[in-house]
Amino acid sequence: MSTTVDQITQRRRGVGLIAHDPALSAGGYTLIAPQTGGGHVYLVDILGEVVHQWKMPVRPGRAAVILPNGNLGYNGNHVFSPDIYPAWSLWHGGDFYEVTPEGKSVWRYEDPTHHHDARWLPDGHLLYAGCAPIPAEFAARVPGGTAHPGEETMYGDVIREVDRSGKIVWEWKVWEHLRPEDFPINPGFGRGHWPLINGLDVTAEGLVLMSLRTTSGIIGVERASGVVRLHIGPQIVSHQHAPVALANGNILTFDNGNFRTGKHVAFSRVLEIDPRDQAVVWSYTDQQANAFYSAYMGSAQRLPNGNTHVTESASGRLFEVTPAGEVVWEYIIPWFDEYPDEAARRYVPGAQNSVFQTFRYSREQLPWLQD
């Protein structure tokens, strides 16, 4: 075994700040909660320097955010979440914290059935994806997918909203509102979780956006009735993550591209979609298409100057692009480690610097930050 060559490919290619054009970048600070960072959360300035950090009691289930009051909202990996199916430990959360910049916990909420995304809403409520067993007769109607060992029971998504007291104020179950025939699972995915909602947001009109991972698509659900009012299907997106409702009414999403129809090379895109006619009004791909690809996770954030902050999750690559598609900032997460549990390591072995989502913040959004 070589003792002189770093065997972690991504780190060997370079980490930290890779590129920066101060004239075109929006600037600001990036919040990073590495998946294998053991609960460390870092705030990094535009030059790649850590200017603040937190140490949380559990590793991240998924992402961390800065709340409007300046506190940290943290989606932690619940220590006592059951092994619902084989890949569960890789992407469940369920242990939510709100902590001050000094690290004092001021709110906590637990749901061991939570997985993937959550949104901290302006009124203080928490919107998140949980799951529960789908009735067997309904599960038998779900087409597609490949049966995997340990996935004898099919789980379905249950979207919940809770208030500050932990009371459930809204709940939506996929098997009560979706026709399975309209949402077949791609053959490349298992049948243990349908349709695996990996991203959430809320539009200005109040529709709850949901990203359907294994079936490809984004839906918009009316809260009062639970009816699906919007469906952007697999003819537009490919096993995407992180739908974001933009101020102009459009939807921004990270289009992973795992099983892209008609393409022999896997590549990711960032798409801005007009939901009224489902037209793609803006997109970003790398000039060398497969140079930008994350098979799992990923997100995009529209910045105040019109640029877009992109999280290429699997490789820990963060970058900023202009509306013209020019990269004006790039940073590679430098913290590598293995997942602490064997179940997760079976799916993603080796040292990782991956992250579910990252977010850029202006100096004005961080009034507590010391200069």
> b or e along 199-211 (b: 16 or more beta carbons within 10 Å of the residue's beta carbon)?
bbbbbeeebbbbb
pLDDT of 150-198, one tens digit each?
Answer: 899 999 999 999 999 999 999 999 999 999 999 999 999 999 999 999 9
Residue 96 has pLDDT above 70, yes or no: yes
Backbone torsions φ then ψ of 312, nearest 5 degrees: -90, 90
- 224-251 pLDDT, tens digit each: 999 999 999 999 999 999 999 999 999 9
pLDDT average, residue stretch 287-316: 97
The domains found in the chain, sorted by start residue, are 12-363 (2.120.10.30)
Instruction: Give the 3-state secondary structure of residue 343.
Output: helix
Please calculate the CA angle 53-34-366 and round it to the nearest 5 degrees.
Answer: 35
pLDDT digits (tens, 9 = 90+) for 10-51: 999 999 999 999 999 999 999 999 999 999 999 999 999 999
Q: What is the predicted pLDDT for the residue at 309?
A: 99
Of 22, 84, 14, 76, nearest in space to 47 by CA: 22
Is pLDDT of 1 > 70?
A: no
- The three-point CA angle 132-82-315 to 5° equals 90
Residue 2: predicted pLDDT: 63
Mean pLDDT of 323-345: 95
**SS3 of 348, please?**
coil
Nearest C-alpha neighbor of 63 from the set 16, 106, 96: 96
Residues 39-94 have pLDDT tens digits of: 999 999 999 999 999 999 999 999 999 999 999 999 999 999 988 999 999 999 99
Whether the pLDDT of residue 212 is over 80: the answer is yes
- Separation of alpha carbons 147 and 364, rounded Å: 50
User: What number is the average pLDDT over the span 284-300?
Assistant: 97
pLDDT band at 343, cuts 50/70/90?
Answer: confident
Spatial neighbors of 149 by CB under 8 A, at least 6 apart, are 86
> Residue 365: is its pLDDT beyond 80?
yes
Rounded distance, CA 144 to CA 240, Å? Answer: 18
